[in-house]
Amino acid sequence: MESALPKRNTGMTIIAVLALAQSALGVLRTLHWFDAGSDLMGQGLLLFPLIGVVAFFRSGFVAVIAILYVVFAYGALVGRSWARWLGIVVAIVTLLLVVSVVIQGESPVRALVWSVAPVVMIWYLLSPAGRQATVN
């Protein structure tokens, strides 16, 4: 009797776990931005609350990316073909955000932490093994 679960590729499982770790870091970053925004909302009359609203929007954007990493990890673990493209897109968006924060003055060493998982994901998902793992 054959199992209803798809055969899991070890590489894809590692990439899914890496995506979940990136998602967890994203949630922590979201909480940081939310905390910063709420601190700014209570100060000043116009400028600081406006900056606080921008911080809230930024936290929401990071939260959406974290959720997309979880969706990718789910799709990768259950063998969905759409997971490959979602992983590539989310990783590229993350790398663009990393470049953006470096341009804005973030330390390149700190930004390197955020770019490891997306680079590995893109490398694997574009490799022949990654393409083969997502074929239904």
Each residue's pLDDT tens digit in the chain (136 positions)? 455 555 668 889 999 999 999 999 989 988 888 887 777 777 776 777 778 788 788 888 989 999 999 999 999 999 888 999 999 999 999 999 999 889 988 888 888 888 999 999 999 999 988 878 766 5
> Cα separation of 78 and 56, whole Å?
33
On whether residue 121 sits in a domain, the answer given is yes
Contact 26, 63 (CB under 8 A): yes
On whether residue 5 sits in a domain, the answer given is no
On whether residue 33 sits in a domain, the answer given is yes
pLDDT computed for residue 94 by the predictor: 94
Domain tally, the chain: 1
pTM value is 0.84
